[in-house]
Amino acid sequence: MKPKIAPFENLVEAFNALPGVGRKSAIRLAYHLVMENNYAGVKLAHAIEEGVGAIRTCTRCHNMSEDELCTVCADPGRDRTKLCIVQSAKDILSIEESGQYDGIYYVVSRLEDMDESHLQAATAGVREVIFAFPPSIATDTMILYIEEKLSHADLLFTRIAQGVPTGVELENVDMLSLGRALEARVRV
């Protein structure tokens, strides 16, 4: 049996459990932190503890937030007539990075978890609902469903242009194309 140093192996396993980190990379990262850069290790541990403990979801739009309302919802400069519906708060990060959108957001991860009255409340004062979903059969179904639930209100429904390739997650679309897709949105 190979001799193993338990605390080192635990660290390797923790890295290996993260998305996109294979065992080789996990070993490299763990070795770096315990043997080459202790300071970075302590800093990382602190940042993880702080991040995991302090971040929750915005009560209004389900974005990542430190407070009850996220920085977008709390910003008086945002255009509240535009509501962009995304599948994940991660997508808000991508859209904000593109710098092409000044409206507000709403996260709907799964239709099963969608709180209809909460979504209705979020659309108060909204004139355009933009679906920033990557194109797929599943997201088409989501769009139809949400549109029907909001059909009583006089809303314009649009979706980001099909420049975003099918089956690709928004976080993997480069900023320029995401910005263009948002600008060139089309009526649903």
Binding site for Zn ion (CB under 5 A): 58, 60-61, 63, 70, 73
Q: Looking at beta carbons only, is 73 or 173 nearer to Zn ion?
A: 73
- Measured distance CA(89)–CA(54) in Å, rounded: 16
Least distance to Zn ion, CB of residue 128, Å: 18
Least distance to Zn ion, CB of residue 6, Å: 42
Q: Looking at beta carbons only, is 107 or 142 nearer to Zn ion?
A: 107
Least distance to Zn ion, CB of residue 29, Å: 33
Please give the distance of CA 163 from its chain centroid, rounded to a whole number: 19
- Which residue matches tokens 């409340």? 121
Least distance to Zn ion, CB of residue 152, Å: 24
- Measured distance CA(85)–CA(108) in Å, rounded: 7
Q: Looking at beta carbons only, is 58 or 164 nearer to Zn ion?
A: 58
Least distance to Zn ion, CB of residue 72, Å: 5
Least distance to Zn ion, CB of residue 74, Å: 8
DSSP the chain: -----HHHHHHHHHHHTSTT--HHHHHHHHHIIIII-HHHHHHHHHHHHHHHHH-EE-TTT--EESSSS-HHHH-TTSEEEEEEEES-HHHHHHHHHHT---EEEEE-S-GGG--HHHHHHHTTT--EEEE---SSHHHHHHHHHHHHHTTTS--EEEE--TTSPTT--GGGS-HHHHHHHHHT-EE-
Q: Looking at beta carbons only, is 63 or 158 nearer to Zn ion?
A: 63
Structure tokens at 58: 């915005």
Q: Looking at beta carbons only, is 107 or 173 nearer to Zn ion?
A: 107
Q: Looking at beta carbons only, is 13 or 115 nearer to Zn ion?
A: 115
